[in-house]
Structures are given as C-alpha cells and as structure tokens.
Structure 1
Amino acid sequence: MGSQDESIYLGFDSSTQSLKVTAMDSKFRILAFEQVHFDSDLPQYETKDGVHRNRGWEGRITSPVLMWVEALELALERLQQKDFPFDKVVAISGSGQQHGSVYWKTGSGEVLNNLDASKPLVSQLKDVFATHDSPIWMDSSTSKQCREIEEAAGGAQALCDLTGSRAHERFTGPQIRKLYQEQEHVYNNTERISLVSSFMASLFVGKYASIDYADGAGMNLMDMKRKEWSDGLLEATAPSLKGKLGPLAPSHGIAGKIHLYFISRYRFNPECVEVNWSGDNPCSLAGLAIEKPGDLGISLGTSDTVFGVSADPKPGVDGHVFPNPVDPNSYMCMLCYKNGSLTRQEVRDRCAGKSWDIFNQYLDDTPPLNEGKIGFYFKETEILPPLPAGIHRFDLSGADGAPLGHGRVDTFGAATEVRAIVEGQFMAMRSHARNFGMPDPERVIATGGASANHHLLRVCADVFGCDVYIASRPDSSSLGAALRAAHGFRLQTDETFSFSSLIKEASEDGATQLSLATKAPDTELHKSYDKLADQKLQYEHLLLQLAVVQAIPID
C-alpha cells in the first residue's frame, strides 16, 4: 500500500448541478480536482440546472439517477487520462445533495455485487431502478404528505423535537409517502431506498451502503437523539419501510473496501476503504472546519444555507438540527433557502444583461440600505419563509410610524433591484439565524460558487456586522469529504483521533486555510441594517398572513 506519505484521499460531491472530486495527499495538499457539469457534459439527459421540472405534476422536480452514475465514471475517466495514481488512494468518501432518494428494484443488490469491469456502469445499471427519476430537494409536491406525517407525530414542533426538523416537502419521508400513495407498484417493486449520498457510496463498494446519521436526519424518519429509525414515523410513512431503508451507520464508519470493478478498471488500491458518505451540508461543515459556536458558515450555491454547531440545540420549525458528522458530541444547526444562486442569476439576467460585472457595478453604485427599498425574490417556492414563487417589493423610505403595507411597489430600477435581492437574502439569513437561537457570529465563513464574488461578501459583512472569510477552495463539500475520508481512515488505527486534530494538521498545510474577504463595517451601519432587517421581518410576517388566505399578488 506504500508509506503514509504516499497516501491519497478522494472526496466526491454529487450536487444538484455537477459532480466534483477533490484529491488530497497525506500532508493535506490538493493534488487534483475534476468537475462534471450535468447540463453541458451530459446533454443527453436534457436537464436544466441539473434537474427536470414539472414532469407529471406541478411542483415535481427530479433528476435522472443514471446521470449521476455516468457523471461518476466521466470524472474518473478524466482523472485516468491525466495519469492520476489511483493505486495510492487509501480512502474515499463523499457528499450528496441532501434529500434526494433512489429506488433500487428488487434483485438489484445482486447486480450491484457482480459488476463487470469490462463494461461501463451505466450499461449494467440501466435496468436496476424501480423508477429512474429521483425526487430531489427542490421538489415541492408533497404538502399533503407533510401534513399527514406531522399529524402522526403530534404536530410540527413534536416532529422537530424527535427528528430535528418539521416535515418539509423536500425531505425524504414525505417523498417516500407520496411514492407509496401515488405509485404503489413502484414502491412495492423497491428492494432498497438510498439517499444520493448512500447511493453513490453503494456504487463504490458494490453493495447497499448504509445511510449515515447526519444525512439520515434530513428525512423526517430518524430519532435524532437515539440515532435510530423511529418506528412510529416509519409506520406513518409507508409499510415495511425499515427493511427498505436498511440500518443507519455512523458518519465516520467504514462502508467497506472498494469493489473489484474499480480495482480492475481504474487500478484503485485493493486495500482502499470507503468512509460512509454524508449530505453536502454536513460535508461543508467539515470542509470549512467549523467547530465552535462563534463561527457561522454560509454556503452560496443553488440553495443558500446558513449553518453552525451547538452542543445543546433547540430544534424549531424554522430550521434543522443534524448530528455533527465529525463530532459525536455536538450537532449541526442549519437554515436552508431554496432561492439562492439561480434566483440571483435570474435578477442578473433581467436587470444586468446577463453580466455579473454590470450586476456588481450596480451593487457598488447603490448606497447601503438601498434608501429603504426591500424585496422578496422567489424564483421557486421558498422554504424559509414558506411562500410561493413571486416577487414582492416595498419602499420604506419615509415610512416611520406607518402601518405595515406602506409603500408597496411593483417595480424598482435595475440597480435598486440588484441591491434589494442581495441585501434581502442576507437580512433574511441574519433574522432567521437569530430566531433559531444561533448566536451572533464572531466571523462568517463563506463557501459555494458565489463566495468568489467579493461584492456579495461586502454586503454580507455589513449585514452580519463581522469579518467575512472564504476558504482557500470554494468546493467545501468535496474537500470536506476528502477530510472525512482521512479522518475515518485514521480512526481505524487510533479510535481516539479527533477531527479537530486532523483540522489542526490540515490548516498548517493549507487545505483548510481561510482568507479574509472583507472586514466588518462600522458599528452604526451594522445597527442600521439590524433595524432594517427587523422591518423586513415584519413584512415577511405580513406576506405569510396573506399567503394563508391566498391573497398575495404575484408579479
């Protein structure tokens, strides 16, 4: 197997729009990076932004399972063409977009175990799925099933207390229940249900890999404190579900040794082990080395997420609590927004001629606080707050003492619109994080594709009132997966080896180093943003009230 100095760790990230892989050596130096864009690299699947929208019923958003399989092989082939030393890889792990589910047809386990290295994976797996469409986190078609699961648990807060989250349309439990109710023949022909993370892990070990604790918490099915499936919730979701889900497993556990298929086809090390995959957000937590409550992670991607750690979380209906994938004694707290980069991009296309340079110039040319003009921009049905697609603009200039509803407007100028969406998104994060009990941050650590835009991060610093840092690499999920692979590998010989110790080593050699993107604003500007954020939150409550009576005007 070679000396430890020659060891390589691979981290994968199967996200909404692409598959990435990061290779890291034992000194935590990045050796290689590959990325497969689903739309452009695999056009035969006819996705837009990696998904299919509204095929079958309104609000249904899915991705083709075989696309993920083919993307994996394409990434490995690209590494192979560059003479990547697969024989030195001692451990792999990965992250998958949370909440996506895969349905293996009866008898598929045998096919998976007997993969033929002379044939591509796609040709061997094309007939093993009960359905080729994986419902993903963007799906919003399971409102009925969410209500049913919450009622079975005794209400939204009771479900939060048990599982860490209330029922959400994108969560896997409601998705499974909808499949059982509306496509019972598919459910009955399903031998195993995987998440995207455990599905991709299964390919590497040639058998059904377990769902890990951190990703399993995003299903509305797991007792978070006991880290076991809740029998009551399984029964409320679909019959005989426990057998289809298989056992849960620790995030740092070993799924198995790599399958002969990859040894023969790519010359992987026969002793290479796979550490259980987890969700993309838990892996981002690992990749950003967030270990204390003073650090707040913000991922600016297809969805925007805000996350941190807590030893004593208090689950609530606005956010989520997951087991920490790298520390069994703490939890990950997270808020999720469906309208992230794609919604910013929609405003860019409409207001700035599809140019980020013009978008950024508009952002720089408009004054902080936008002269009291605020907006809510939802290209997709939003998660937090739970509002339908639409744009809602308000002009609060001169509105001191005015009742809610003052200054409703239909349009802003292009520059005002740009600042309104950016400020609005960060102010929502700030308000909701406070409401969820997250402490005011000492620093924000930004990641995701849009974290490379320092114009956005300037607004982030102004709103949160603290310095904003960025990781040395924006792909924190695949980096976090590589770090988790290294941690799980070390735990095989040293059960007391902590992820904190690993991060200390990694930071000394650069893999997890942070760089200051922008410093905190002056105190008065931050106080003004706090006041505006409170006002915006009041208008959010108004919109929610109107939504209940179906009276929101959609622009």
Structure 2
Amino acid sequence: MATAPEAYYLGFDFSTQQLKVIVIDEQLRVIHENHVNFDKELPEFRTQGGVNIHKDRLTVTSPVLMWIKALDMILAKMKSSGFNFSRVKALSGAGQQHGSVYWNDGASLILQNLPSDVPLHQALKSCFSVNNSPVWMDSSTGEQCSSLEEAVGGAQKLVEITGSRAYERFTGNQIAKIYSQNPEVYAQTERISLVSSFAASLFLGAYARIDYSDGSGMNLLHIREKTWSSACLDACAPGLEKKLGIPVPCSKILGSVSPYYVKRYGFNPNCKVVAFTGDNPASLAGMRLAEGDIAISLGTSDTLFLWIREPKPALDGHILCSPMETNAYMALLCFKNGSLMREKIRDELASGSWEEFSKTLTSTPAGNNGNIGFYYDVMEIIPEVVGIHRFDSQNNSVPSFSKEVEIRALIEGQFMLKRLHAEMLGYKILPTTRILATGGASHNKEILQVLSDVFSAPVYTIDTANSACLGSAYRAIHGVPTPPQKIHGT
C-alpha cells in the first residue's frame, strides 16, 4: 500500500521591504524559498525600502495593494516552479509589527466571494477605506500618545495594562489619529487589521482575528487578561472593539484556506490557516527560544528577545504575549548605540582593526578592576541619555581611561546595561539559559566571551536571516495537531 506523500507547511513574512515564503516538511527541513522585493518587482508603487515617506517626514505608509499584488506574484512564482500546493497541510505567517489595514464597509462580502480567475489585487482594489497603511516607521502620533497616557492615568498605568508606554508607531495611536483627522473614513471602516491578521484574512477569505502576541504591540490589549482594555479603546476611538474583533491565542487554527486558492493554485481544501503574528514574535519562534533563553542581535542597534514567565512591565522596553505559549511572555529591548558605537571606539583606539580591538580587550581582566563606562554616541532609547560616562572603582566620575580600560569598559558596560534592564522586566537567568547571538558583532569571539561572562551563560551563534519566515512555518506545524497513530488490531 502506497504511503501518503509527506505534508508541507508554509510560512510567510510580510516584512517592510519584501514578501518572503519558506516551505518546510515534517522533519523541519526547508524545501522551498521564494520572495518578492517591493521596490524592484513592484516599481509602480514607487516605494523606497518598501515605504513612502510623506512630506512632513513623520508620516510613513505602505500601499495595501502592493502587499496583495506581491502575494499574487509569489504564489505565481511557486506555481510556475512546479510547487505542489496540494501537499500543504497548514500555513501561517508574520507581518511587520504595528502596521494597520482598514477595510471598507462591505469588504467582507467581496473577500468571501473571490473569483478564482481574477488576480487578488484586482478583486480587492475597492476594499480599503485607507489605501496607504501607516507602518512601524511612522512617528506622527505624538499628540495621540499623550492623550492615551493621560486618559488611562499615566505612562506607568498604560505599561501595566498593555506592556508598553505609548509609542507613536503603536496601532492604537495610529487609529486615534485617523479617527481624529478623518472621522468619516473611520466611520466607513468595517474592520481594522494588523498587517499580520490582514495577511491571514487574504488566505481565509474572511476577517482573521488578531493574535495575542501581535495584539500586545498596539497599546490596546490587556496583556494579562488577553482582552482589549476598554479604557484604552475608549481613549482612541468610539466603537473600536467591534472593528478589531476578538483576539485569539497565537496557535489558533482560524479555518481552512479560501476556495479561491483551491481553484486558482490547487491548494488542498483542508489546508489550515494558523493565526498570523508579528515579525518579532515570529522571529522568537524561528530561533526556537525556550524558557530562560535570550536572543541578542548585535547589529547597528542591539536588540534583546527574552522569554519571561512573570513579567514586570516597565517604562523602558516592551512586554508582549509569547507567540509559543499562552501563559508566557516575551520581552523586547532595543538599544541604539550598538555596533556603530563599538566601531567608533575601534577606529579611535584600535586603528580600525577588530583584531587589535580584540587583543586589547583580552589584555584586561573581567570586571575591568572596577572601572566601568557607558557610551552613547546618539541619544539612547534605554535610558534616554547621550554622551560618554566613565566611573572608576570608587564610583567617581573620571574624564578618561587608558586604551585597554576604555575598550573593556565599553563592551562590559553595554552588556551589563542589557542584563540590568532584562532583570528589571522580570527576566531570570536559569541553569538552562542559553544566549543565542546574531548580527555583525557575533562573529567576534572576544566580545561574545564578555557577553557570556556578564550573563553567566553559554553563548551560541545563529543565522537569523529569515527567522520570522521560518518561525511562521514552525508555527504552522505547531498549530496543527498530529492525529493519533492507529494501533494495529484496535
């Protein structure tokens, strides 16, 4: 008797600059990859880096139809390559966090009745009350942020509810701006999606619910209760709960793919759509973080992803619901002064040579004999400070260090600050803790040794070039339960 062909699982990533897809099999092996670059392959939308920056330099948007046309293109590429969509058992995806999509009155009927002989972007061209979606780069909602914090009792109170203080890119504030400036547009909006739930809606042929993890990046979700905060909703716009729908767990099966995909591309009608999430939560899944683990990207800026069981929301950093476990959380910390600061000190004190920098770093002992420094070439996010601040072993401020002390003070100071803020958010180092490092500085073993010393944990390097996309494929397989095996004779 012939065995059934092995199932495939699709992971999509609607990122800022491109749409990507990864296909894995049941052994988690990547068997297909594809992408569409927005600027290069969709030049008619005139984006730069996937976005349009408006005249005020604060407003940043992306065309909704560009994302949809990119989906048309990537599925056509897969079909022309001979990819067998009938073997796909489940799919999931990620979207750039904080972006929002506004569906017109009546759009749901169009979404439910898509003609399979028409490209998706043509069938849906009249479905949006806002054609250019605000995205994470937008910083035009300062007034709305102040109003939200004031309405709920201050920034700390908002943090306790939603896991973050008010940020200009966060969706609640973007919705408040649209309601304030264009109330008629808001009134004719039937549904508001995140980029993630919008993308899932395209596959479902119906409005997809927002998942807990991406929803916790909106300044609207009560992260402990997993429900919308009425205080936050009321502060942003009237009738908002109905327009958002009820949030769902990240592993929720939303339904099966729309008949559109069955007829047009040959999908199995039983292919399941697992809730889509944000790109940062999907990356955590893609890096396979376990409880107690840390992922750290040592790039232009430094970013920490943390798995937290008992969060302590603070004004600095973000607490999001975990994309992997309903009762867990992830924390996100971002520091502007990352590799650019390290490179500046390298150029000034090590002749621009990483080899010399590393040799000098290892010439001083761990702990730097009590000397410590904090180095901020540009205004930092956490904490909000700029400049270079040096302290000797007696905690006295000093104007300078020797070259050897300066280099170790820089690296130890950067990592000590990260550990401090991680623990302030509730992170606890466990005996099983691993640090997964990526980014440019992760190639420097001497810097990684300091990272290991400061966190008292082993450090491993990983490649996370497509972590959000891969994490989405993992989430697809994780979301679909494996049927019990039939035992012979029963």
TM-score by length of 1: 0.74
Q: How do residues 110-189 of structure 1 correspond to structure 2 at under 5 angstroms?
A: 110-189=109-188
Specify the alignment match of 2:388 in structure 1.
Answer: 394
Q: Which residue of 1 aligns with 2:266?
A: 267
* 1:437 and 2:426 matched: yes
Aligned in 2, Cα 1:384/1:346: closer, same or farther, shift over 3 Å? closer
- Asked if 1:40 is matched to 2:40, the reply is yes
> Which whole-Å CA distance do the structure 1 matches of 2:64 and 2:299 have between them?
21
Q: Are 2:324 and 1:333 aligned? A: no
Aligned equivalent of 1:470, options 438, 461, 467: 461
2:372–2:410 Cα contact (<8 Å) kept: no
| 1:29 partner letter | R
Q: Which residue matches 2:487?
A: none
Structure 1 residues 84 and 437: CA distance shift in structure 2, 3 A: same
- The equivalences for 1:529-540 within 5 A come to none
Structure 1 unaligned segments of length 5 or more: list them: 353-357, 495-555
Alignment of 1:142-541 (within 5 A): 142-293=141-292, 295-299=293-297, 304-328=302-326, 330-337=327-334, 339=336, 364=358, 367=361, 375-378=375-378, 383-386=381-384, 392-394=386-388, 396=390, 402-403=396-397, 407=399, 426=415, 428-440=417-429, 443-446=433-436, 450=440, 453=443, 460-461=451-452, 464-471=455-462, 474-490=465-481, 493=483
Aligned-partner residue type, residue 36 of structure 1:
V
* Aligned mates of 1:216, 1:281 — CA distance in 2: 12
Is the contact between residue 223 and residue 321 of structure 2 (CA under 8 Å) also seen in structure 1?
Answer: yes
| Partner deviation per Cα, 1:146-196 (whole Å, 9 max, x = no partner) | 221122212222222222222222211111111211232322221111001
Structure-2 change in CA distance of 1:467 and 1:231 (3 Å): same
Q: Aligned Cα RMSD in Å?
A: 3.7
Q: CA, structure 1 residues 91+130, in 2 after alignment: closer, same or farther (shift >3 Å)?
A: same
Where 2:481 maps in the other structure, the secondary structure is helix
Query: Which amino acid in 2 is paired with 1:305?
Result: T
CA separation of 1:463 and 1:216: change in aligned 2, threshold 3 A: same
CA distance in 2, matches of 1:47, 1:423: 40
Offset of residue 486 of structure 1:
1.0
Query: Given that residues 172 and 218 in structure 2 are in contact (C-alpha distance below 8 angstroms), is that contact kept between their aligned partners in structure 1?
Result: yes
Query: Is the Cα contact below 8 Å between 2:92 and 2:473 reproduced in 1?
Result: yes
How big is the shift at 1:427? Answer: 5.3
DSSP-derived class of the 2:33 partner: strand
Distance 1:267 1:298, change over 3 A: same
Q: Secondary structure at the match of 1:333?
A: strand
Q: What corresponds to 2:488 in structure 1?
A: none
Sort the Cα spacing of 1:383 and 1:70 in 2 relative to 1 into closer, same or farther, 3 A. Answer: farther
Amino acid at match of 2:420: S
User: Are the equivalent residues in 2 in contact too, given 1:372–1:396 (CA < 8 A)?
Assistant: yes
The letter of the residue matching 1:24 is I
- TM-score, normalised via structure 2 length: 0.83
Q: Do the aligned partners of 1:4 and 1:26 also contact (CA within 8 Å) in 2?
A: no
Aligned counterparts of 1:101 and 1:385: Cα–Cα separation in 2: 29
The corresponding residue for 1:65 is: 64
The corresponding residue for 1:502 is none
Query: CA–CA distance in 2 between the matches of 1:346 and 1:118?
Result: 54
Equivalent-residue separation in structure 2 for 1:393 and 1:199 (angstroms): 42
CA distance in 2, matches of 1:114, 1:194: 19
Give how far 1:363 is off.
5.7
Moved more, 118-127 or 163-172: 118-127
Give the deviation of 1:244 after TM superposition.
1.1
Structure 1: distance between partners of 2:422 and 2:3: 45
Q: Distance in 2 between matches of 1:71 and 1:24?
A: 21
Whether the aligned pair in 2 keeps the contact of 1:336 and 1:383 (CA below 8 Å) is no
CA distance in 2 between counterparts of 1:472 and 1:162 reads 34
Structure 2 CA distance for partners of 1:402 and 1:301, relative to 1, 3 Å: closer
Q: What do residues 114-167 of structure 1 show as CA deviations (whole Å, max 9, x unaligned)?
A: 222222222233332222222222322222212211222122222222222222
CA distance in 1, matches of 2:175, 2:410: 34
- In the aligned structure 2, how far is the partner of 1:18 from the partner of 1:238? 31
Instruction: Measure how far apart 1:421 and its partner are.
Output: 9.1
Q: Structure 2 CA distance, aligned partners of 1:224 and 1:206?
A: 28
Q: Distance in 2 between matches of 1:46 and 1:348?
A: 34
Decide whether the 8 Å contact of 1:307 with 1:335 is kept in 2.
yes
Contact 1:106 1:189 in 2 (8 A): yes
CA contact (8 A) 2:287 2:464 kept: no
Please give the alpha-carbon distance, in whole angstroms, between the structure 1 residues aligned to 2:34 and 2:353: 29
Secondary structure, counterpart of 2:126 in structure 1: coil
Aligned partners of 2:409, 2:73: CA distance in 1, in Å?
A: 40
In structure 2, stretches of 5+ residues that fail to align are 485-490
State how far apart, in whole Å, the 2-side matches of 1:133 and 1:139 are: 12
Report the residue type matching 1:446 in the other structure. L
Describe the shift of the 1:449–1:106 C-alpha distance in structure 2 as closer, same or farther (beyond 3 A): farther
Per-residue deviation, residues 245-297 of structure 1 (Å, max 9, x unmatched): 1121121111121112222222211211100111122222222222222x112
User: Whole-Å Cα distance in 2 between the matches of residues 486 and 23 of structure 1?
Assistant: 11
Alpha carbons of 1:367 and 1:291: their partners in 2 closer, same or farther (altered >3 Å)?
closer
SS of aligned partner of 2:79: helix
After alignment, is 469-478 or 231-240 more displaced?
469-478
Q: CA deviation at 1:299?
A: 4.2
